[in-house]
Amino acid sequence: MLEVNRVCSGYGGGVVLDGFSLALKAGEAVALVGRNGVGKTTLMKTIMGLIRPSSGSIALAGKRIDGRAPFEIARAGVGYAPQGREIFAALSVEDNLLLGDLAARTADEAYRLFPALAARRNTPAGRLSGGQQQQLAIARALMARPRLLLLDEPSEGVQPTVVAEIVAALGQIVAQRGLALLLVEQNIEMALALVSRFVLVDQGRAVATHAASAVAADPSLLMGALAL
């Protein structure tokens, strides 16, 4: 589904991703772990087209998407819930959801997935709690029925009970739709509940891969990537 091939990219001429390679099959869920600054968010932005890679290629279901505009990549089937949510604070919950798919007649599917949003459909999104905003960001990304979902730090600033709700909803939808999932997450427990594979990132490269079952049995496998 997703093939990232030796991608180099960064901000303003600096190099953050330094030959990053990654492959995701359709329906596969992978977590990226690593210290701050190693390039996880940069990778997400590069896949989404917000940053143009200086070399390497990115393909979605066999078609090249590097160098295309973000809206084209979104329409090709990539959903994105960025770090910090980036919901439209002045717009209502319903408007935020409809923006995920402007051709949609209703947002009912999103409300089924996250009932907390249904109760607040006319509330300006800026008034929601952190957890509700995260649910909104994810539901919005799912509106257009993407084939690949990029989730950047979804548990950040969200209380544990809501994290559990999000995990349950995501698990359900990923299984239902056969959605491929690329997750950046510091919360290892949350990641374990969702993914089948962990990729360790260091200095702009993917340096190791571990199956989720191996990490569950021995979490110290990730220590190398997370230690200072």
One residue of 20, 39, 80, 132 binding other proteins per CB under 8 A? 80
Binding segment for other proteins (CB under 8 A), chosen from 12-20, 97-105, 157-165, 197-205, is 97-105
Secondary structure of the chain in HEC code, one letter for each residue: CEEEEEEEECCCCCCCEEEEEEEECCCCEEEEECCCCCCHHHHHHHHHCCCCCCEEEEEECCEECCCCCHHHHHHHCEEEECCCCCCCCCCEHHHHHHHHCCCCCCCHHHHHHCHHHHCCCCCEHHHCCHHHHHHHHHHHHHCCCCCEEEEECCCCCCCHHHHHHHHHHHHHHHHHHCCEEEEECCCHHHHHHHCCEEEEEECCEEEEEEEHHHHHHCHHHHHHHHCC
One residue of 58, 93, 98, 169 binding other proteins per CB under 8 A? 98
Per CB under 8 A, contacts with other proteins among 33-52 are 48-50
Asked whether position 88 contacts other proteins by CB under 8 A, the answer is: yes
Per CB under 8 A, contacts with other proteins among 58-77 are 69-71, 74-75
Asked whether position 223 contacts other proteins by CB under 8 A, the answer is: no
Binding segment for other proteins (CB under 8 A), chosen from 3-11, 115-123, 137-145, 155-163, is 137-145
Interacting residues with other proteins (CB under 8 A): 48-50, 69-71, 74-75, 80, 82, 86, 88-91, 95, 98-102, 140-141, 144
